[in-house]
Every structure is written in C-alpha cells, then in structure tokens.
Amino acid sequence: MSLTESSAIEVAKTASLASRRLATLSNTARNEALTALHAALLRNRDIILQANARDVEAATRAAASGEISQSVLKRLDLARPGKYEDMLKGVLSVRDLDDPVGKVTLRTLLDDGLVLERVSCPIGVLLIIFEARPEVIANIAALSIKSGNAAILKGGKESTESFVAISKVISDAISETQVPNSSIQLVKTRDAVSSLLAQDSLIDLVIPRGSNDLVRYVKENTKIPVLGHADGLCSAYLHSDADLATAVKVIVDSKTDYPAACNSLETLLVHQDALETILPAVAEALHAKGVTLRCDQQSKSALEKALPAVQQSMLQNSTENDYDTEFLDLVLAVKTIPSTSSPVSCVETAIAHINAHSSKHTDVILTSSRELAELFLNGVDSAGVYWNASTRFADGMRYGFGTEVGISTNKIHTRGPVGLDGLTIYKYLIRGDGHIAGDYFEGPGGRKWKHQSLPLGDSK
C-alpha cells in the first residue's frame, strides 16, 4: 500500500494500471495475497493496537469537548472485544469464498461456431472515503484484491495513526505477492478528496462510509457513480398478534446490540391493540438496557399506565422530527398505528410510514401471520426487509459475504451489504470463427440466428 501524497491524477493513474494487472491474476494468486495479508495483520496486532490506542485517546478528548460524537468514538476502537478478531476472520472468509471473477451468467449459441457469454469481471478502480472504522482498510483490501479491483482509500483524521500502521502492514504483506503494490493506496491529505472526486475518467466507483454529511458531500461533488447510504433509519412494526417473547428479543437486540451501527433500530411502530398487551414488556426490557423512548401521545399514555413509576423516566414526548432521525444511541422513537377492522390496512399504514420516512436500509415486521408478513416483505421498499428477525442481521459477515465494503441503499447494480458480488460487473464475450454481422439478413443467402440457450459454467 503506497502512503502517497502525490497528485490525485497520479494516484488514480497508478491505481488504474494496477487494476488491469490485478484483473488478470488467477484466483490462486489473489488468495495467496489474502493469506499473506491475514498473517501480517495477526503478526503485527500489538503494533496496530498501540497506534489505535493513540487515536482513541485523542478521540476521547475530542468527544468530551463535543468535537466528535460518541458513536464515532465507539467505531474507532479496535480493542473492543472481538473487533480485531472479526477483522482477521473477515480476511480469511473472503479468501475462502468462490472466485467472483469469470462467472458465466448467460451463454447463448448465436449460430454454429458463434457463442455469446455474459461474464463477471472487476469494476476497476474504487475510491473509498471513510470516517473512523480503521478495520475498513483490511476489509476493503481483502474484498478489492479478491474481486480484482484496485482501491484508493481516504480515512478520517480521527484514525490517522491506525490507518498508517495498518497500511504499512498491508503494503509489506502484498509486496511479497503477485498483487501490484499500488492496487491498494492510502491517501492521507485531506485536500486530495476533491481532486480524486474529479477523476471520473480513471476512477470507476466511489464508496463513502461515514456520516450523512460525508455521503451527501460525495454525491454532490462527483460525476463518478456513488454506492452507499446516508442514513440508517431502520424501523420495526409490532403487530398485535406478535409473539411477546419474540418481540422482546428482536426489538431489544435491534436497538441495543450495537446502537452506534447503521443497522440499529431507530423507530418502533406499534399497532394500537398491542399498546397494552406487548409494548409494556418491550419497554421494560429496553429500560433495563438504558433506552429512552420518545413516544407519541397514545403509546406514552399506555406505558404510563402499565409501567411502575421508576421506569417512566425513560418516557419522553416525541416530535415529528424524531421519526426522521438516526439517533445512533440508546434512543428509540415510538409511534402508534391506529387499529382498524382490517389487519391488512394496519400493515399497509405501517408500510406507508416506513416508505415515507425510511432511508431504505433495513426494516422489520413482528407478527405471527405469514400473510401479513409477506405483505410487509413485498411492500416495504428497503434493501433489507425481515420477518421476526433483528435489524442487526444486515451485515456482510452475517449474510455469508465474508465481509462488506458497505451497505448500499441504491436501486442499481447492487443493494444491501456489498460483498464480492457487489464489487463485480459483467462484460459480454463472443467467440467466433470469422463470423460477420453482414451475413445475417432475411432473404436468399442470408444466415439465420439460432439464439439457443447453452449450459452455464466458468468462462474459458
């Protein structure tokens, strides 16, 4: 990995050249680089954690003075239980996945001796701009190398020490492999971002990972396609027929497992008939985890009647803005869905609210009815829609993607946790034997198209 402060165009050019070489390497060669990367990260764990500790110390002071949020501080800390181990596992899990390059997804016999194939291939050069999350370097390096893409990385100033330490380890590791060293480059200078965003002829995709402001800035300042999401406004709809134990488990996990994550629950929609039967148990469990509930009038009144006085301190009045807020903290907005004679119409009301307020990340329904669940699964326009399962499952590792480069709420190319498949595109290959288009026409002497589907397989 080159720790370079060269001009943006030189960085982009070297990445483009590296991507072409990387795209021709065998899966074995790419896997060997990931094995070396994992070994280097394991061997240099203490050095990396010491650098990260310096970042955390500085960030702790910044959080105390209000310069950065607590959620950024939590994401920065590589010493959190299991975080470094997850980073290491992510590299190996990516290595052990099937090769995403060269997969044939369509094969057609156009005519005798003339075969068309649609084959997966790398996107090319990725620009990843991220805040905190130092493990992103290892994740993206692994995903990029495995998928045959070059990557230019720009991290936030709050984790510079971590990035420099990790980048040196990765650079030393891949320099001993067939992967070009400039396949993974780290840019440290802040001024480089705007210049890199202007390199639309050399950079193929931008992936921003961080705050809403970062994502919006990137989208507004580049012609390069952008993959990512600005908010993680995840909602759950609690229907009146939901199993109480299931509702408590799923909602508590969605909100409290890791509140600073983009897949944590931010809004709870509650069927009116569940306000007195299920919601109090959910509220008690959330109170035990330190969660504050910002409730509309109906849900707050119901909980004031059901909860002991000591637990009512968790209740606050909601505002309309709360249903459009990504708290990233132990705060949950609660809204009542009015009861009607038709359960379907209640679910449709919940769907309408989510589609109007959601960031199209991940949303959940809690119900015992398959019919209502299927209506919700089909009606909610989000990258992930679940039935009786925690929003926290929206994750590349948990999907079996090995790790992820980010979450996409886009509606083109890829959606949801973006793993290897999301970092490939496709090309059309034709193998012929002197065939020309001019031979195909109606009338005497013209050749006819066969357009016969052929079995799929690896492109050879």
Beta carbons within 8 Å of 211's beta carbon, 6+ residues apart? 131
Average the pLDDT over each of 43-52, 74-83, 322-331, 346-355 and give the range with the smallest value. 74-83
Domain ranges of the chain: 2-228+410-423, 234-399
Distance spanning both ends of the chain, measured CA to CA = 32
Closest to 89 (Cα-Cα) out of 34, 47, 129, 171: 34
User: Which residue has better confidence, 412 or 123?
Assistant: 123
CA–CA gap between residue 426 and residue 454 (Å, rounded): 18
For the cut 80, the answer to whether the pLDDT of residue 458 exceeds it is no
Quick one: which H or E segment has residue 132? none
pLDDT at 6 over 60: no
pLDDT at 459 over 80: no
CA distance to 133, 333, 416, per residue, from 71 (Å): 11, 18, 22
Q: Are 128 and 209 in contact (CB under 8 A)?
A: yes
Nearest 10 degrees: CA dihedral of 39, 43, 44, 45?
Answer: 100
- Look at residue 453 and tell me whether its pLDDT is greater than 90: yes
Per-residue confidence at 232, pLDDT binned at 50, 70, 90?
A: confident
pLDDT at residue number 230: 67
CATH superfamily of 234-399: Aldehyde Dehydrogenase; Chain A, domain 2 (3.40.309.10)
Strand partners, 331: 292
Average pLDDT along the chain? 91
Read off the tokens for 165: 């330490």
Average pLDDT over residues 124-135: 87
Maximum CA pair distance of the chain? 92
Write phi, then psi, for 293 (nearest 5 degrees). Answer: -105, 125
Q: Three-state SS for 81?
A: coil
CB distance 269 to 350 below 8 Å: yes
Check residues 190 and 353 and name the one with the higher pLDDT: 353
Fold of 2-228+410-423: Aldehyde Dehydrogenase; Chain A, domain 1 (3.40.605)
213: confidence class by pLDDT, cuts 50, 70, 90: confident
